[in-house]
Amino acid sequence: MAAAGQRTDWDQLLLQSQDLVRTEQAFPRVQRDITQVEAYSSKLRARAARGDAGAETLEASRLLAGEGLNPRKLTQALQTFELRPTYEDVFAVETATVDEYLQQVHEMISVTAIQEAQSSAAAAFEDFMDACMDSEWQQEKRTLFDSVAPYSAASALTPGPSPGGAMSPYAPRGGAAPSPAYRGTPGGAFGRSSLAGGTPLAAGNLALRGRAAKYAEVVRKLNAAEAGGQAYSAVEDFAAACADESNGERRTTMARVWQVLARLLGGLGGLPAGARAQRSEALVAGARKYLEDNFVAYMQKVVAAHRTQAALGGSPSRLGLVQAFLRVKERDRGALDFDQPGGVDTTWMRLYCCLRAGFHAEAVQVAKSLREGVATPRAGGASDLSGQLAAWAEGGCRPLGGDAGAHLSAECDRLVRDKAARARHPFSAQRAMVHALLAGYNRGAEAIVKESPTFFPTIEDFLWFKLGLLRSEGRAAGAGSFGGAGSAAGVIDAYTLPDLQRYLQQYPAAHYSHGGKEPLLYAVVQLLSLQFRGAVAFLAREAATRDYRLDAAHLAICLQAAGVLDTSPADAGAGGRGVDVGALIHRYAKEFLYTDPPLALEYYMLAAQAMGGSVQVKGQLLRELLVESKAYGYLLGSGGAAGEGGALARFVPDAGERGRVLEAVAHECAASAQLEEAVELFMFAGRPRQALRILSQRLSDAVEAAAGDATRAAEVEGVMSRGNAAVAAMASSQDPEDLREVEAFDLLKSIRDMLAASARGDYTRALQKLSELPFVPTERFRLQLCASGVASLHPAVADRLPSVLLAAAAALAAVGKREQLQTVVAFASAVPNRISQAVYQQLNQLQASVA
């Protein structure tokens, strides 16, 4: 047993020694493989370092950047990459090799990079699609609101962004729902107590915001000034209302639009409203003056940005400013003549800049220093250029006529034809333009612009020059040929304001507004070319100006108050470019019907003025305001049309005219079947006869249906009570028309009692009331007289004649008065146009029953 155990231990020891030998034999091979792996790793690091600046690395960087990866960080990671494999990693499988391992690592890195790139691309795509959908939804919502109700009352109650981009002028306070303080029951009756005086009502939980509130305050001042007969220029206050508001990245703001308009209207002064030609010339002069001041500001800005090169000095003159500006703008030409003798001749450029800036005295001074004569004096001909400039400036910058204009036009034609001379002189285009400007020669100016398309770098420069060429229509009619220029240039056609407007209208708004990026710039162009209706229409209709609907309404108000909307005939809506200013103001006024009737009245009265200001127009608008807002006490006050109080008295101070306006409102209500309102307004206007006529017709329509109906009977009682008040108001009147209305109302009351008695079978009472109706004969001798008098019956009484005859016949038949019944039937047959066949048959049946 011991020997067997020793042999077993020996076998185990032998096996272990054999394993050890095999291990020692395999160790050099493992060591060689590890050395080979390290060599491969060194080659990979060397290859990555060498490929850093190669074309393949650049292509890979572009590919990774396109997939959303950062090539720089990935390159840094690859440069510091070091592979340190373990024995188990390398020899996870007995048949694995280093080449297979490196292939697996490469595939793993590639797959990971692709997955990360796909994930990043999918996330970026989803974010992009979400942003697109949100933008499209916002655009569609704005389009829907603009197309459905640009001025709807609903938009006024909807909270929105800041006033610069809001359609509604309101902002909610406290998040509460709007209070319908003024809303009444549609079609509901209102009693006399509704016309009693009262305090102005509050505007609920809504308040105007931003420049809408400031605009409303200017409107109140405008109406107050007009009511007091005082002069008030609202454009400055309108400009101040939006002076402190930014316009984002846009350079042209609404404040600039108001500034342009203020400059245009500033020259009207005391010109009468009927002098359209003089007012048009004053507006053109204001437009040119604005453009000249704008150019002076531009020169100062350029000089301030290049102080060293401009060399303006401490206290420069206006001519010094022009020279400093040219030093900067013409710096590529080298030395200039006013800085160095023999330098580039800038005389014509200085002259043109002086005219462009409005420096007329300096332009004459520069013209006197011309190196070569341009317009040599001759007997009976033109004077020198400096004298022509002085005459042009003294004449209000209007084109010269006669021999001077003809000579300047001929010189412009010569300069246009002499291309060789223009090539030798750097500023020959400015020379020709000066001649064209002084002569008002548009054809020569267009020839220069055709050869030098960049002569006018901005639309402002173009407009200034074109406005300088204009002749008024009265002057243009006698312009004709300019003497000597007729042979050189033919008959010179005068360039008028409608010509300029038609030229500008050939191009869309985006042409002037930098592709829609500066939409208000087109409005400025329209104002400078006196297209006032076009400017209002552009702000009120175009999609690019949806944020300026509020400004469109107030621009229309300002232009209407200034009386310049129809200054130019070509701007009166030709080609659909105009706008109905009255309808625009009216549409904006409806914003305040239910929230602020006092403010709505301010805008309604302005809309009425824009629509002609007639009593009928005021009546139509006031009817809408009264019926919709129900603010009768505030708007009309108490004590009738001649009484004190009521907001309407501020706009129509004369009691007689106020009565006519209220009467027109009442007629509008009656025509619209708003009889309750019509009666009250007639009574308030001091017209009880018209009110009683309506009440009589209502009583005539209701008395027959009221028989046996308690509800209708109460309605009849109410009508009779108000009719009695109207009769009392005419108690002292001796007017035949008043007496006729009172008599008809009394007859209708008797008819009402008669029909009620007949319906309950009280025939004795019915016959008593029949005796109060003189138009129904019960004696044979009165038959013909009553039959001939039917035609003169009041319409409300005549409508009830069939019912009266039936009730009378029934009462007479009941008491057996056959002769009187025969007279009533004979009377019915004598007026066949008033009695239907069915009623006549019933009368015959009653007569037969008595027989």
- Find the domain containing 283 and state its range: 234-289+506-561
For residues 354-368, give the mean pLDDT. Answer: 92
Q: In this structure, are 260 and 296 located in the same domain? A: no
At residue 355 the predicted structure's pLDDT band, cuts being 50, 70 and 90, is very high
pLDDT of residue 549: 92
Mean pLDDT value across residues 716-744 = 89
CA-derived radius of gyration, the chain: 48
Q: What band does 834 get if pLDDT is binned at 50, 70 and 90? A: confident
**For residue 194, is pLDDT > 60?**
no
Q: Which amino acid is at 245?
A: E
Instruction: Please check whether residue 35 lies inside any domain of the structure.
Output: yes
Residue 695 pLDDT > 80: yes
What is the structure's pLDDT at 846? 86
Q: Is residue 174 very low, low, confident or very high in pLDDT (cuts 50, 70, 90)?
A: very low
- State the total domains in the chain: 3
User: Residue 656: pLDDT band by 50, 70, 90 thresholds?
Assistant: confident
* More confident call, 490 vs 528: 528
| Assigned domain for 164 exists | no
Residue 378 has pLDDT above 70, yes or no: no
What's the rounded mean pLDDT across residues 267-284?
81
pLDDT tens by residue, 807-822 = 999 989 888 888 888 9
d(CA 504, CA 457): 16
Number of other residues whose CB lies within 10 A of the CB of residue 407:
27
pLDDT tens for residues 49-104? 554 456 777 777 777 777 777 777 777 776 777 767 666 666 555 555 777 777 87
Average pLDDT over every residue of 824-850: 85
Residue 22: pLDDT band with limits 50, 70, 90: low
Q: What is the largest CA-CA distance in the chain?
A: 176
What pLDDT digit, counting tens, does each position of 493-542 carry? Answer: 688 899 999 999 999 988 888 877 888 999 999 999 999 999 999 999 98
Give residue 467's pLDDT: 94
* Residue type, position 719, single letter: V
Residues 105, 250: one domain? no
Structure confidence at residue 551 (pLDDT): 94
Please report the pLDDT score of residue 8 as a whole number: 59
Mean pLDDT of 550-559: 94
Report d(CA 807, CA 341) in Å as an integer.
119
Least confident of 195-204, 402-411, 488-497: 195-204
On the question of pLDDT at 335 being above 90, the answer is: no
Q: Across the strands, what pairs with 171?
A: 207
Close Cβ partners of 233 (under 8 Å, ≥ 6 residues apart)? 262, 265, 562
| Phi, psi of 102, deg, nearest 5 | -65, -35
In this prediction, residue 658 has a pLDDT band, given cuts at 50, 70 and 90, of confident
pLDDT at 552 over 90: yes
Which of 813, 809, 814, 817 has the alpha carbon at shortest distance from 840?
809
Whether residue 361 is found in the same domain as residue 419: yes
Instruction: Assess if residue 39 is contained within a domain.
Output: yes
Q: What is the mean pLDDT of residues 290-295?
A: 94
Last residue of a domain, which of 460, 490, 505? 505
Is 82 inside any structural domain?
yes
Nearest Cα residue to 411 out of 426, 391, 432, 429:
432
Does an H or E element contain 206, and which? strand 206-208
Among candidate residues 756, 772, 623, 769, the one with its CA nearest the CA of residue 699: 756
Q: Give pLDDT, residue 203.
A: 39
Judgement on whether residues 363 and 462 belong to the same structural domain of the protein: yes
The pLDDT value given to residue 207: 73
- pLDDT tens digit sequence for 434-479: 999 999 999 999 999 898 888 999 999 999 999 999 987 544 433 3
What DSSP letter does each residue of 356-378 carry, written as one string? HHT-HHHHHHHHHT-SS-SS---
Residue that finishes a domain, picked among 90, 120, 150: 120
Residue 294 has pLDDT above 90, yes or no: yes
Q: How large a percentage of the chain has pLDDT more than 70? A: 77
Per-residue confidence (pLDDT) for residue 182, from 0 to 100: 35
H/E run at residue 207: strand 206-208
Angle at 73 between CA 67 and CA 77, to 5 degrees: 115
- Report the pLDDT averaged over residues 700-724: 79
Q: Using DSSP, state whether 438 is helix, strand or coil.
A: helix
Q: How far is 370 from 348, CA to CA, in rounded Å?
A: 8
Does residue 130 contact residue 138 with C-beta atoms inside 8 Å? no
On whether the CB atoms of residues 589 and 610 are closer than 8 A, the answer is no
Same domain membership, residue 498 and residue 513: no
Report residue 693's pLDDT band, with 50, 70 and 90 as the boundaries.
Answer: very high
pLDDT at 402: 85
pLDDT at site 522? 94
Q: Average per-residue pLDDT in the chain?
A: 78
283 shares a domain with 367: no
Q: Using alpha carbons, select from 498, 586, 584 the residue that is nearest to residue 538.
A: 584
Section 96-118 average pLDDT: 81
**Which pLDDT belongs to residue 830?**
86
- Checking if the pLDDT of 352 tops 90, the result is yes
The whole-angstrom separation of Cα 92 and Cα 776 is 129
Domain for residue 824, yes or no?
A: no
* The model scores a pTM over 0.75: no
306 located within any domain: yes
pLDDT band with cut points at 50, 70 and 90 for residue 384: confident
Angle between helices 2-50 and 98-148 (to 10 degrees): 50
> Does residue 345 sit within a domain?
yes
Q: Does any domain span residue 60?
A: yes
Whether 462 and 535 map to the same domain: the answer is no
Q: What are phi and psi of 342, to 5 degrees?
A: 85, 5
336 strand-pairing partners: 344
Alpha-carbon torsion, ordered 434, 440, 442, 443, to 10 deg: -90
Is the pLDDT at 167 greater than 60, yes or no?
A: no
> In this model, does residue 573 exceed pLDDT 70?
no
CA dist., res. 474 & res. 451, Å (int): 32
Q: Do 332 and 478 belong together in one domain?
A: yes
Q: Which of 51-55, 613-617, 729-733 has the lowest mean pLDDT?
A: 51-55
Nearest to 571 by CA among 563, 560, 579: 579
The predicted model gives 595-603 an average pLDDT of 90
Is residue 557's pLDDT more than 90? yes
Higher pLDDT, 631 or 348: 348
Predicted confidence (pLDDT) per residue in 581-592, tens digit: 999 999 999 989
CA distance 219 to 211: 12
Predicted local confidence at residue 25, as pLDDT:
59
Residues 444 and 464 in one domain: yes
Q: What mean pLDDT is predicted for residues 765-788?
A: 89
Q: Measure the N-to-C terminal CA separation of the chain; round to a whole number of Å.
A: 165
Q: Within this chain, do residues 281 and 301 fall inside the same structural domain, yes or no?
A: no
Residues 308 and 399 in one domain: yes
Helix (H) or strand (E) holding 225: helix 210-227
d(CA 399, CA 471): 7
Nearest alpha-carbon partner for 553 in 591, 517, 522, 516:
591
Between CA 369 and CA 359 the distance in angstroms is 16
H helices, E strands: number in the chain: 43, 2
With 90 as the cut, is the pLDDT of residue 733 above it?
Answer: no
Amino acid of residue 250 = R
Q: At what angle do helices 428-439 and 385-394 cross, to 10 degrees?
A: 50
What is the signed CA dihedral for 388, 391, 397, 402, rounded to 10 degrees? -70
What pLDDT shows up at residue 435? 93
pLDDT at 101: 72
Q: Are residues 336 and 451 in the same domain?
A: yes
Query: pLDDT, tens digit, for every residue of 118-159?
Result: 888 888 888 888 888 888 888 777 767 665 544 443 333 333
Lowest-pLDDT choice from 53-57, 98-102, 550-554, 842-846 = 53-57
User: pLDDT for 233-263, tens place per residue?
Assistant: 889 999 998 887 766 667 888 999 999 999 9
Structure tokens at 766: 């019915």
